[in-house]
Amino acid sequence: MTSAQFDFAPLLPAGLPAPAAKWTGLAKYSFVGGNNDPAEVPVDGLIEAVNAVLKREGKTLATYGLASGPQGYRPLREFLTGKLKRDAGIDCVADDILIVSGSLQALDLVNQSLLAHGDTVVIEQDTYQGSLNRLIRLGVNVVGIPLDDRGMRMDALAEALADLERRRITPKYIYTIPTVQNPTGTIMPEGRRAELLKLSQQYGVPIFEDDCYADLIWDGKRPPALYAMSNNGGVIHIGSFSKSIAPALRVGFIVAPWQMLSRMLALKTDAGSGALEQMVLAEYCAPHFTSHVPKLTRGLRAKLDTLMEALNEQFGTAAEFEDPKGGIFLWVKLPDNVDTLKLYQSALAAGVAINPGPEWSTDKAYARSRLRLCFASPSHEQIREGVAVLADVCRREFGVPARSANVEKRTRT
């Protein structure tokens, strides 16, 4: 005799996310996720780092915090102080940094510290899906600000902040990805960053700066971080090693004034992020980071070129996009009659995974015909084949591109 299966459903609280689907593997042609180029993971260097640091400090794994304290492995935080000063102009010390389990934990800690149901935040209209989904689940009111080829538009931000002030609403923060914006790939210039900081101070709204893609710039040159330019401590800065070394290591960091860092540290209930990952990164990055990243970005730039060539070949002028200044994704506009949420389903059935635009935007109608394609993980051959299959599916479902589209190709300079 078999007993009935216990039913947990009546015990689940309201407001939980929809249940996760069972993992069925990656699509044959996967253009989704923040994955990186498998060929560029520095495996040999990481093996050497593992061996060296375990021989030297392996016994410290017996202690939570590795005797470095709850903020994370001190040699990694000390590496970050030099890196952030060199690359982003941030002048901080190790005690200004909290190591976290990837930038997603950073998002959660900032939100848990600052947000309650019914609060308001200001974000870029097109933005990271992970950030947007978290705000929706928290019941937060989201005000989206349009972007142009230089990132968040300051005229639109000023108008939105003034409108909120008239309604006696003070947003909890302004969320921005100013350096290699996700999904548009833009970089906010220094002058516009200064405008953003001025508006932040004028309206008393802090800035939440997500700098997770900032290492992946083709020419290696970037404006200073907003955190570096701020003179009143009103910026929280987060970053990650996911895009520069390997996503599966799950190591990110937060830089913030102690007033906020101490609050986030009190909410970090995992007894510390993975110590071995931190130790290995510190050991590897100190001698190799500055030579590894340019090699990585050269490979990514080559894959982007392959993707843009394939889109030009298969879609012609039906696919509109700007050449991003770095990163691992391309934001593509298709003709207005294309619904990328429907295209996503049909393409997946044909073995091609894409990110439909509405999932990455506060304006679902605006993003209806847009999609995000991540080009880092698939090979050059997979990129070409996958785009060809996507074009066939799109033509079958929406008549786009027309069969003569490959004759009308854009000219690039």
Residue 78's nearest CA partner among 288, 226, 291, 281 is: 281
Residues 151 and 176 in one domain: yes
CATH of the domain at 318: 3.90.1150.10
Looking at 225, 260, 288, which one is the last position of a domain? 288
DSSP letters, 300-353, are: HHHHHHHHHHHHHHHHGGGSB----SBSSEEEEE--TT--HHHHHHHHHHTTEE
Q: How far apart are CA 381 and CA 384, in angstroms?
A: 5
Q: How many domains does the chain have?
A: 2
**Within 10 A of 357 (CB to CB), how many other CB atoms are there?**
28
CATH of the domain at 254: 3.40.640.10
User: Does residue 18 sit within a domain?
Assistant: no
Residues 304 and 156 in one domain: no
C-alpha Rg value of the chain to the nearest Å:
22
Residues 74 and 135 in one domain: yes
Residues 32 and 105 in one domain: no
Residues 137 and 99 in one domain: yes
Q: Report helix, strand or coil for 244.
A: coil
By the 10 Å C-beta count (0-12 exposed, 13-18 middle, 19+ buried), 44 is classed as: exposed
Q: How far apart are CA 85 and CA 97, in angstroms?
A: 13
User: Does residue 72 sit within a domain?
Assistant: yes
**Tokens (6 digits) for 72:** 């994370």
Residues 218 and 335 in one domain: no
**Tokens (6 digits) for 66:** 């590795």
Q: Report CA-CA distances (Å) from 161 to 38, 147, 182, 330, 394.
A: 43, 16, 23, 30, 40
pTM > 0.85:
yes
The predicted pLDDT at position 324 comes to: 95
* Cis peptide bond prior to 42, omega within 30° of 0: no
User: Does residue 176 sit within a domain?
Assistant: yes
Residues 253 and 373 in one domain: no
How many residues can be counted in the chain? Answer: 413
User: Does residue 67 sit within a domain?
Assistant: yes
User: Does residue 199 sit within a domain?
Assistant: yes
The predicted pLDDT at position 1 comes to: 53
Q: Which residues contact 163 (CB under 8 A, 6 or more apart)?
A: none
User: Does residue 340 sit within a domain?
Assistant: yes
Beta bridge partners of 320: 333
Residues 69 and 194 in one domain: yes
The predicted pLDDT at position 66 comes to: 73
Looking at 241, 264, 288, which one is the last position of a domain? 288
Domain region containing 390: 25-41+293-407
Residues 109 and 149 in one domain: yes
The predicted pLDDT at position 408 comes to: 52
Residues 179 and 233 in one domain: yes
Q: How far apart are CA 376 and CA 101, in angstroms?
A: 22
By the 10 Å C-beta count (0-12 exposed, 13-18 middle, 19+ buried), 69 is classed as: middle
Residue 383's nearest CA partner among 37, 20, 17 is: 37
Q: How far apart are CA 324 and CA 322, in angstroms?
A: 6
Q: Which residues contact 219 (CB under 8 A, 6 or more apart)?
A: none
Residues 241 and 364 in one domain: no
User: Does residue 6 sit within a domain?
Assistant: no
Residue 371's nearest CA partner among 351, 384, 352 is: 352
The predicted pLDDT at position 413 comes to: 32
Residue by residue, pLDDT tens for the chain (413 residues) are 567 899 999 999 987 888 888 888 889 999 998 889 999 999 999 999 999 999 999 999 888 877 888 999 999 999 999 999 999 999 999 999 999 999 999 999 999 999 999 999 999 999 999 999 999 999 999 999 999 999 999 999 999 999 999 999 999 999 999 999 999 999 999 999 999 999 999 999 999 999 999 999 999 999 999 999 999 999 999 999 999 999 999 999 999 999 999 999 999 988 888 899 999 999 999 999 999 999 999 999 999 999 999 999 999 999 999 999 999 999 999 999 999 999 999 999 999 999 999 999 999 999 999 999 999 999 999 999 999 999 999 999 999 998 764 445 543 33
Q: How far apart are CA 187 and CA 184, in angstroms?
A: 9
Residues 250 and 387 in one domain: no
Looking at 272, 288, 304, which one is the last position of a domain? 288
Beta bridge partners of 208: 175, 236
Q: How far apart are CA 235 and CA 208, in angstroms?
A: 6
Q: How far apart are CA 49 and CA 261, in angstroms?
A: 29
